[in-house]
């Protein structure tokens, strides 16, 4: 069996969406002929993006070694002044620098001792690319970059100015050009790398999506029930970024901080609240029938929008739940909610929210407020999408009413294409990853 040094900042017992890709690859790579040697961080304290989920450790095979490096708490959370100075000067963050240095030190030691066949780094943090490249330089072992986000090609990310966005693109290209393979997690993001980064050979760029684990969907799960029409959203909202963008529109446009036509607020519950409020005015009786379950950590801004809304009594906010508990809600929902950001006409989104794949696997209708994107394409083929444009309150309300009417009549269903969805199963994706790794020379 070949060995692979597997570098991942996001790894159990941390929970959250960023952990799943790393965990499932490590879980299934031994079956595909690769034994991972994991290098990760000491389990961080509970934070919004890294909540603890100890149960996920049970999925790591006993044969897998796990090495951990520590990073001081104060490095994780920089002060406002430090963050502003770093962004303005285009410098690496103190956290990124510390993570990179400790990965290089520990990774070189592990590589010289265990002699893996490959070095594999999954990102973010993107500083891991330079760390893996340096370990590769010191040991002569080829390295593979796996990007869970499109880095500088992510249209959702804010930059200090348009100049800084271009600076980040240059950094991304420099950091990835020595990789034997660059794996992007959507077809669109892989296309962007090939089109905009000539220093990275296009034949070295591939796409391997996120997915779902069939084991997580085994057995019967009762509906949430309670005599209600239960809508579920799992994971994070992004209202805080969207609200800030709205109040600083002129500044953002002047500085080129955002790509014209991209609006972040629709990747939240902001417009859903407006649709529910209109519906309540038209049909007050839905107060006893409709429940909106938010399964995940809400920011203060997320919660404040709910608290200030006439529709607040429709919301049930659980906070962070273990992955298995989260999937119980996803699988038992009458309707799933998948919001994304607005995109300019003619431009396809480069992101697919990780929850999309588990939503498809659940076989439940998905109320999807999506731009042109791989996410929309996938849901269309899966047969589960109920679509409306991001930010269109009336279209969203029409979709809500239509699904609610089907629920009341006992006809709520979708034309689920299970065969299409099966390609996103984690074992299948890991087998495909092993095929890619086999081609690295």
The CA radius of gyration of the chain, in Å to the nearest whole number, is 22
Closest CA to 365 of 377, 355, 379, 350: 379
Domains and CATH numbers, the chain: 2-211+425-438 (3.40.50.2000), 215-423 (3.40.50.2000)
Helices 94-114 and 127-139 cross at an angle (nearest 10°) of: 30
Q: Tell me: the pLDDT tens digits for 183-230?
A: 999 999 999 999 999 999 999 999 999 999 999 998 888 778 788 999
- CA–CA separation, 106 vs 427, rounded Å? 29
Mean pLDDT of 81-91: 58
Which CB contacts under 8 angstroms, 24+ apart, belong to 253-261? Answer: 255/160, 255/161, 255/162, 256/159, 256/161, 256/162, 256/163, 256/165, 257/158, 257/159, 257/160, 257/161, 257/162, 258/158, 259/155, 259/344, 259/347, 260/344, 261/342, 261/343, 261/344, 261/345, 261/347
pLDDT at 49: 53
Q: Tell me: the pLDDT tens digits for 38-57?
A: 999 987 655 555 677 788 88
Question: Looking at the predicted structure, is the pLDDT value of residue 9 above 80?
Answer: yes
Helical ranges in 197-267 per DSSP H: 239-247, 249-255
Q: Summarize the chain as % helix, strand, coil (round to 5).
A: 50, 15, 35
Question: Looking at the predicted structure, is the pLDDT value of residue 89 above 70?
Answer: no
Contact by Cβ (8 Å): 267, 339: yes
Residue carrying structure tokens 């109920």: 386
- Compute CA distances 157 → 10, 124, 187, 205, whole Å: 19, 13, 19, 22
* Phi, psi (deg, nearest 5) at residue 36: -75, 145
Please give the span between the terminal C-alpha atoms of the chain, in angstroms, as a whole number.
17
The SS3 call for residue 46 is coil
Structure-block tokens of residue 192: 């962007």
Q: Tell me: the pLDDT tens digits for 265-305?
A: 999 999 999 999 999 999 999 999 999 999 988 999 999 99
pLDDT at 87: 60
Of the chain, the percentage scoring pLDDT greater than 90 comes to 71
- CA–CA separation, 95 vs 284, rounded Å? 50
Contact by Cβ (8 Å): 255, 162: yes
User: What is the torsional sign of CA 378, 383, 384, 386?
Assistant: positive
pTM recorded for the entire structure: 0.91
């Amino acid at each position: 069996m070949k060995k692979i040094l597997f570098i991942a900042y996001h790894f159990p017992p941390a929970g959250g969406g960023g952990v799943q890709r790393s965990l499932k690859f490590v879980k299934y790579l031994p079956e595909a002929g690769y034994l991972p040697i994991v290098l990760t961080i000491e389990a961080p304290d509970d934070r919004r993006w890294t909540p603890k989920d100890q149960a996920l450790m049970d999925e790591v095979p006993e044969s897998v070694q796990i090495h951990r490096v520590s990073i001081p708490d104060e490095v994780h959370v920089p002060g406002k002044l430090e963050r502003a100075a770093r962004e303005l000067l285009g410098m690496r963050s103190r956290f990124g620098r510390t993570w990179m240095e400790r990965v290089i030190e520990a990774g070189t030691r592990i590589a010289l001792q265990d002699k893996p066949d490959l070095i594999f780094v999954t990102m973010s943090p993107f500083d891991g690319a330079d760390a893996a490249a340096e370990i590769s330089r010191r040991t002569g072992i080829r390295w593979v970059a796996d990007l869970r986000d499109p880095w500088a090609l992510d249209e959702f990310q804010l930059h200090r100015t348009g100049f800084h966005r271009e600076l980040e693109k240059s950094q991304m290209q420099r950091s990835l050009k020595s990789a034997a393979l660059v794996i992007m997690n959507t077809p669109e993001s892989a296309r962007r790398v090939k089109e905009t980064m000539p220093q990275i050979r296009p034949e070295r760029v591939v796409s391997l999506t996120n997915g779902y684990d069939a084991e997580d969907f085994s057995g019967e799960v009762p509906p949430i029930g309670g005599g209600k029409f239960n809508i579920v959203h799992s994971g994070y909202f992004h209202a805080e970024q969207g609200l800030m963008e709205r109040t600083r529109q002129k500044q953002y446009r002047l500085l080129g901080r955002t790509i014209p036509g991209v609006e972040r607020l629709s990747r939240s519950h902001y417009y859903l609240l407006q649709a529910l409020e209109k519906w309540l005015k038209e049909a007050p009786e839905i107060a006893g029938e409709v429940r909106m379950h938010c399964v995940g950590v809400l920011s203060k801004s997320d919660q404040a929008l709910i608290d200030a809304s006439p529709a607040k009594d429709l919301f049930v906010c659980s906070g962070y739940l273990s992955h298995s508990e989260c999937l119980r809600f996803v699988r038992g929902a009458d309707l799933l909610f998948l919001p994304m950001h607005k995109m300019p006409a003619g431009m396809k989104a480069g992101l697919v929210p990780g929850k999309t794949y588990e939503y498809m696997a659940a076989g439940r209708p998905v109320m999807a407020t999506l731009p042109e994107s791989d996410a929309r394409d996938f849901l269309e083929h899966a047969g589960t999408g109920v679509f409306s444009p991001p930010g269109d309150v009336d279209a969203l309300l029409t979709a809500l009413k239509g699904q609610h009417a089907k629920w009341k009549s006992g006809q709520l269903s979708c034309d689920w294409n299970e065969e299409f969805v099966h390609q996103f199963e984690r074992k299948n994706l890991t087998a495909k990853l092993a095929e890619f790794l086999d081609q690295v020379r």
